Structure 1
Amino acid sequence: MCGITGGWWPQGSPDSALRVSTALDRLRHRGPNDRGHEIYPLGFGELHLGHTRLSILDLSPAGHQPMLSHDGRLSIVYNGEIYNYKEIRAELQQQGFRFSTQTDTEVLLNAWLCWGPACLPKLEGMFAFALYDKQDHSLTLVRDPFGIKPLFYYHHDNQLLFGSEQTAMLALMPQKPELNWQRCYDYLVHGQYDNQEDTFLAGIRHLLPGHLLRISLQQPANAEPYQWWAPTLVKKEKLTFDQAVEAVREQFLHNIRTHLRSDVPVGAALSGGIDSSAIVCGMRYLYKDLPIHTFSYVSSDPATSEEKWIDLVNQHTGAIAHKVHIQPHELAEDLDTLVKAQGEPFGSTSIYAQFRVFKHARENNITVMLEGQGGDELLGGYSGYPGHRLLSLLEQHRYGAAHDFAKHWAKLNGLSYRHALMHLAHITLPPKVYALARQLTGRPFEPDWLNIDLLKEAGVKLCDYRPPLKPDYKGQRLIEKLAHSLQSYGLPHLLRHGDRNAMHFSVESRVPFLTAPFANLCLNLPEDYLVSPEAETKRVFRAAMQGIVPNVVLNRNDKIGFSTPEQTWVHPTIDKIDEGLVPNDTTRIFAQVSKYKKQINSIPKKTTYASQMWRYINFLCWRPGIK
């Protein structure tokens, strides 16, 4: 795992080398083992490629980057892991390509020489890279299918700048960027972030998951990213349920096997849920003698503690357990560090629990961690996406099945039948009716603590983003939702949390659920293989893990994860509202702070936590760090 940065200055710049050097300083935590910076003066401009390296495969100096292809044509800075690099290397060797290192970076260079961008679907892994082709003077930025590895860019006035994190981008930028008010509104009111190209800072964009941006350095003005990967949702010959179980089991174990390829110690994050338990149990199933270190957060609140499930999995696998316990005051003490590590505002205090888990892993000399992100989005997890599953059944005219599903879902989740219909209404109500429903339930689009007139004048859309329901997915609304969650609203912000938390401590986080073959397999299964008619989530995966994961874990119907006692943790941070404000701060214009503070101070400490409280505190902590 690494950090990458650089850019194209079309007229050159007297301080470009210093800017890239500063950006590399800010990425040192992503790659403490090595650093490289190459400058390519081309007569019509100047290209910089920079890299910080965390050594995982081939720990020798041969892995230094920027790395050149053997013919000198290509130069690359690359962040990630290609787990099937050995198989691709063997295929390339058969075609006459030679190798001088044991790195996956060299495999990627030769694969690009051989197949060009057509090599990308062959790669099973996580990656973000910048590749310079001297033959046609092009610079190509690429991001993996799910956006596991980050890549930001700025493209303006023929200039292209890129980096793994916002702090690196800020070092490269010609001037301090303004806030993107739309994204600030989306976050503060609706909790939405990392779900589209725009970031919190105007002009800085995400290269979206599964996208590629190629520019000609001689004519760089008009290039736009395009999508090179999306889930393949083509109806295939229907597998029987037993055949699907076998296919899921085989592909998941293959993913575990390849994700364990490493020249440094590997551990696993264990929450106690089905996904993380399956990873740890899969490691033991495949390798009977492998030393397994697990790292878990244990909540002090019995209602959210998963310690009994964690202990059960550790005992079943003979793993070496490491547990993290957090006191309420610790979040306030670490808040500034956490916010800086994340780079942009984020959604909940559970991110702090994950932060501490990765910290504990590093303290125990673990460099690579496997974790279970993506299992819910691929297999119909969480609460089973009841609104989308109900809509599928209704569009198939299976009204009785829809009624039965709603009853089962309500009983399974300890809720009423009405709650199932509310999930359906959330995705089907017309916009005006939906806005009214939000107003009546105390979640207005225009809360009184925002300066609404000013936001309207600035062109901010004061609404909630709901993905449109596409005609092509009629009768397959669950599959449509899962596919959308993989690359837009859902998974991307979870992957951001994991990447930044892990890399802050120079730990590589790997997510074995997230490979293109596994995604294409799961999303082409019938919906009732994923969520059963009785509303059981991850139906096919539970069956696939029989004999690998203890049945008592597979039979769980609750989902806790890294749940934290937010109300207890957040109240000690309320003073940050005043500390985060500075004279003439944009936030004073954007929001009416006095009204907001009055609102949150009126919330008793023992009531259900108001999510806006955390988001506003987080936002104020982040603002002064933009420099």
Structure 2
Amino acid sequence: MCGITGVYAFTENGRVALNRLQGAVASLRHRGPDAGGVYLHGRVGLGNRRLSIIAPGEQANQPLTSDDGRYTVVFNGEIFNYKQLRAELASKGYTLSTASDTEVLLRLYERERQECLKKLKGFFAVAIYDKAEDSLFVARDRFGEKPLLYYKDANAFLFGSEMVALLELGVPQELDYASLYQYLQLTYTPAPATMLKHVKKLLPGQALYIRGGRVQESVWYRLSFDGEKAAQNPMPFKLQQEKLRQLLQQAVADRMVADVPVGAFLSGGLDSSIVVALAASQASSLKTFSVGFPEQPRFDETAYARLVAEKYKTEHTELLLSNQDLYQHLHDMLNSLSEPLADSSALAVYALSKRASQDVKVVLSGDGADELFAGYNKHRAEYRASQGGFAVGAVTKLQPLWEVLPKSRSSFTANKVRQLQRFAAGARLSPEDRYWLWASWLQEEQALALLKPEHRTAAQNRLYHARKSRLLNCISRNHYDMNNVLCADWHMVLANDMLAKVDLMGMAHGVEVRSPYLDNRLVKFAFSLPVASKIDEHAQKRILRETFKHLLPEELWKRGKQGFEVPLLSFLRSEGRSRVNECLSDAFIIEQGIFEVQQTRLIRQALELGKGLTTQTSAWSLLVFQHWWKHSSLK
């Protein structure tokens, strides 16, 4: 695991960025505190900060150059099957000088070029310079576990693991209003867009080949998903369970590969608990880490996590956070964001990663299971909406009532009203419009109203609609069922919110987060399963629950889904209130010239009164954006 950055200059003016490369590398030190280095040759510069996990000796430091001097690589990630691939290379007569997975990748590329990526089990962002061709190859893993951003103009191609590296290299700092518009709705900016107009994210499974002044795009991996074929899958449920058991056990075993201690995040939910149960059988002593909020019992799952930790005798740590604790982490957490990401649970992941970093460099997580096996509340809602019936009709007809009743995520009753209101609004819509509504925190007209009138045309332009259409591609296919929703979530929510969050928060403290549910063999299998294997009238994540319930305490596998959240409203109305008032003050909003001051004033007032369903999310999204805007010195 590392941070990488680099420059490929097309002109003399482009070479100016080479002088800034050391600064770009330094900006990524948090991603790789163990070592750093720079490679320079002619028009090309590559930089790396290393977190040493496999072959931690100096020989494996990066940039790493082949023995003949032709190829040089910078690599962020892990290849779990590197020992098998190393043996394959040895059988072909290759001699490797280090024990690292980075050199294995370099030699594979030398032999097979882009095709070598298909052999890799793991996650990565990689850049390889070929001195003989004077070419640069850049690629990202299958599902977007490791980030890579890039910028191209007539003078240079620049790339980096985080936006901060590109800012150090001197990219133009022009705000993309279409991205801001999507961010205000979703709380993140879906790839390939970023919050800066000319900076892009490399898509998962995508590669770039740069030579001379040309940049060629290619796709080396696409998610294998055929909804109609999955619906007709004839495999009996018991055989599906056996296959899932084998795949997940192997995925966990693969992700235990490291030359440093491996721990696990344990939320108390089904997904991470299964991972811990399987990992504990493969480790003599497994360290587990949970976070809780004793002042807000509704958001605290530590009791369930403790049951799993006790069952498997892990070395368990509970991090108990108050609103004051959250506030103490706030500034540093916001500084660690590559671009605005307003998933409020990032604050808890940041704090938990900081604590875990005292004991381990690697942690396992349960990310991806909800998107594979229909674990979110919106999946239950989609299932019921598609089934129809009297109850659906009754809830829909009562929409005027749900609109006027108090709604909040902070109490059971108010949260249930919130869910009924969103269900009633979505059940009337087409699948595409329903998906977008239930994926969003603000509706389009609400997000647009937050922007000053002169920016609204730039926000809701043809580019915005093209991006939205691409994100809904899974929903728009001829065959439609729950698997289409899961496909869309996999590409949009998981890749751009969940994985970005755990990467940034973990790497802020030099902690690598690995999820067995993102194993490509497991993912391919999960998307081949019919909807009935994942959700029915009685259960969500049915196959996961039924296959592994014997490993878990009964209290855990019988409970319903509880999202991993922080007590956001309570925090924003107490310790976080001063930051909201500062970022949304009338004077600053007017001087900044982006947002409509009447709207931000209403958000401040509603937050003080504890009113408005969308108030806390809007306030948090704006706070995160404003901090990033100031921290990045945008104008």
TM bucket (normalised to shorter chain) is: 0.7 to 0.9
Aligned counterpart for 1:617 among listed residues 618, 623, 634: 623
1:183 aligns with 2:212: no
Q: Give, in angstroms, the shift of residue 446 of structure 1.
A: 5.7
Give, in whole Å, the separation in 2 of the partners of 1:471 and 1:377: 14
Counterparts of 1:600 and 1:523 in 2: how far apart (Å)?
A: 44
Out of 89, 93, 96, the position equivalent to 2:90 is: 93
Deviation at 1:625, TM superposition (A): 0.8
Match of 1:396 in 2: none
The alpha carbon displacement at 1:584 in A equals: 8.6
Residue 229 of structure 1, aligned match among 221, 226, 238? 221
Alignment of 1:127-146 (within 5 A): 127-146=124-143
Report the AA paired with residue 497 of structure 1: K
Where does 1:548-563 land on structure 2 (aligned, <5 Å)? 548-561=551-564, 563=565
Counterpart residue identity of residue 6, structure 1: G
Q: CA deviation at 1:362?
A: 1.4
**Are positions 1:526 and 2:518 aligned together?**
no
Deviation at 1:469, TM superposition (A): 5.7
AA matched with 1:9: A
Specify whether residues 178 and 247 from structure 1 end up closer, same or farther in structure 2 by C-alpha distance, changes over 3 A only: same
Deviation per residue, 1:140-160 (Å, 9 max, x gap): 110001111110100111410
How far is the alpha carbon of 1:53 from its aligned partner?
0.7
In structure 2, relative to structure 1, the CA distance for the partners of 1:596 and 1:68 (3 Å cut) is same
Cα distance, 1:543 vs structure 2: 1.9
With over 3 angstroms needed to count, the CA separation of the structure-2 counterparts of 1:384 and 1:470, relative to structure 1, is closer
Partner-residue secondary structure (3-state), 2:367: coil
Q: 586-595 vs 575-584, which deviates more? A: 575-584
Bigger drift between 475-484 and 278-287 goes to 475-484
Residue 475 of structure 2 contacts residue 488 of structure 2 at CA under 8 Å; is this kept in 1?
Answer: no
CA distance in 2, matches of 1:536, 1:121: 35
Matched, 1:239 2:235: yes
Task: Tell me which amino acid in the other structure corresponds to 1:510.
Answer: R
- Over 3 Å counting, the alpha-carbon distance change for 1:124 and 1:322 in structure 2 is same
Residues 376-405 of structure 1, C-alpha deviation per residue, up to 9 Å, x if partnerless?
1111111262465467x6xxxxxxx65499
Deviation (angstroms), 1:321: 1.3
Instruction: Kindly indicate whether the alpha-carbon contact (under 8 Å) linking 2:274 and 2:551 is maintained by their aligned counterparts in 1.
Output: yes
User: Partner of 1:162 in structure 2?
Assistant: 159
2:516 counterpart of 1:512: yes
CA apart distance, 1:369: 1.0
Deviation at 1:470? 5.8
Distance 1:196 1:488 in 2: 8
User: 1:398 maps to which residue?
Assistant: none
User: Structure 1 residues 531 and 360 mapped into 2: Cα distance closer, same or farther (>3 Å)?
Assistant: same
**1:324-343 correspondence to structure 2 within 5 Å:** 324-343=319-338
> How many angstroms apart in 1 are the aligned matches of 2:41 and 2:175?
33
| SS of aligned partner of 2:290 | strand
Structure 1 residues 458 and 489, CA gap change in structure 2 (3 angstroms) = closer
Are the structure 2 counterparts of residues 304 and 585 from structure 1 closer, same or farther at C-alpha, using a change threshold of 3 Å? closer
Shift of 1:201: 1.1
| Equivalent residue, structure 2, for 1:36 | 37
Aligned residues: 598
Aligned to 1:248: 244
Task: Indicate whether 1:200 and 2:189 are aligned.
Answer: no
Cα RMSD for the two superposed structures: 3.1
Q: Which runs of no fewer than 5 residues in structure 2 stay unpaired?
A: 397-414
3-state SS of 2:571 partner: helix
Query: Is residue 563 of structure 2 the alignment partner of residue 569 of structure 1?
Result: no
Quick check: 1:383–1:537 contact (8 Å CA) kept in 2?
A: no
Code of the aligned partner of 1:134: K
Describe how 1:211-230 pairs up with structure 2 within 5 A. 211-216=206-211, 218-220=212-214, 223-230=215-222
1:447 Cα deviation (Å)? 5.3
Shift in Å, 1:515:
1.6
**Cα offsets for 1:135-180 (capped at 9, x unmatched):** 322211100011111101001114100011111110112x541111
State the partner residue of 2:70: 73
| Residue 481 of structure 1 pairs with residue 476 of structure 2 | no
**Which deviates more from structure 2 when the two are superposed, residues 250-259 or residues 190-199?**
190-199
Letter in 1 for 2:320: H
Q: Secondary structure at the match of 1:55?
A: coil
**What is the match of residue 354 of structure 2?**
359
Amino acid at match of 1:7: V
2:548 paired with 1:545: yes
- Please give the alpha-carbon distance, in whole angstroms, between the structure 2 residues aligned to 1:214 and 1:586: 44
Match of 1:277, SS state, is helix
Query: Is contact 1:377-1:491 (8 Å) kept?
Result: no
CA apart distance, 1:202 = 1.6
Deviation of 1:357 after TM superposition, in Å, equals 0.3
CA 613–417 in structure 1, closer or farther in 2 if over 3 Å, else same: closer
Tell me the distance in 1 between the aligned counterparts of 2:390 and 2:584.
Answer: 52
Q: Are the counterparts in 1 of residues 47 and 63 from structure 2 also a CA contact under 8 Å? A: yes
Decide whether the 8 Å contact of 2:584 with 2:600 is kept in 1.
no
Distance apart, 1:17 and its partner CA: 3.9
Residue 15 of structure 1: CA displacement?
4.4
- Provide the C-alpha distance between the structure 1 equivalents of 2:28 and 2:93, rounded to a whole number of angstroms: 36
In the other structure, the counterpart of 1:8 is 8
Any conservation in 1 of the 2:179–2:189 contact (CA below 8 Å)? no
SS at match of 1:112: helix
Structure 2 vs 1, CA of residues 110 and 405 (structure 1 numbering), >3 Å: closer, same or farther? Answer: farther
Residue aligned with 1:525, SS: coil
| 2:371–2:489 contact (8 Å) kept in structure 1 | yes
In 2, Cα distance between equivalents of 1:586 and 1:96: 67
Give the direction of change, closer, same or farther, for the CA distance of 1:158–1:323 in structure 2 (3 Å limit): same
Identity of aligned residues (%): 27
Equivalent residue number for residue 379 of structure 1: 373
Q: 1-side partners of 2:480 and 2:85: how far apart?
A: 35
Displacement of 1:606 in angstroms is 4.6
Change (3 A) 1:470 1:147: closer
Relative distance call for 1:258 and 1:481 in structure 2 (3 A) is: same
The residue matched to 2:297 in structure 1 has which SS? coil
Aligned to 1:261: 257
Q: Could you say which residue in structure 2 is the equivalent of 1:317?
A: 312
The CA distance in 1 between the partners of 2:563 and 2:210, in whole Å, is 45
- 1:577 is displaced (CA, Å) by 4.5
Task: Work out whether residues 405 and 535 of structure 1, in 8 Å CA contact, stay in contact via their aligned partners in 2.
Answer: no
1:273 pairs with one of 269, 272, 285: 269
Q: Which moved more, 1:32-41 or 1:191-200?
A: 191-200
Per the alignment, in what secondary structure is the counterpart of residue 549 of structure 2?
A: coil
Sort the Cα spacing of 1:77 and 1:445 in 2 relative to 1 into closer, same or farther, 3 A: same
1:18 aligns with 2:24: no
Cα 1:405–1:370 shift into 2, 3 Å? farther
- How has the CA–CA distance of structure 1 residues 592 and 482 changed in structure 2, closer, same or farther, with 3 Å as cutoff? same
Could you tell me whether the CA contact under 8 Å between 2:187 and 2:343 is conserved in 1? no
Contact 1:270 1:310 in 2 (8 A): yes
Partner residue of 1:397? none
| Post-superposition offset of 1:603 | 3.3
The corresponding residue for 2:407 is none
Q: 1:473, 1:580 → 2: CA distance? A: 42
Q: For structure 1, list consecutive stretches of 5 or more residues without a partner in the other structure.
A: 394-400
- 2:488 & 2:444 partners in 1: Cα distance? 24
Which residue number in structure 2 is paired with residue 451 of structure 1?
A: 452
Q: Which residue of 2 aligns with 1:305?
A: 300
SS in 2 for 1:513: helix
The whole-number CA distance in structure 1 between the counterparts of 2:25 and 2:198 is: 21
CA displacement, residues 423-474 of structure 1 (integer Å, 9 cap, x when unaligned) = 444543779xx99xx99x9873465443134322676468894744668844
Quick one: distance in 1 between partners of 2:538 and 2:210?
48
Q: Deviations over 1:569-593 (max 9, x none)?
A: 1123333355447989897322123
Q: Which amino acid aligns with 2:141?
A: D
CA offset at residue 611 of structure 1?
1.0
TM-superposed deviation, 1:203: 0.9
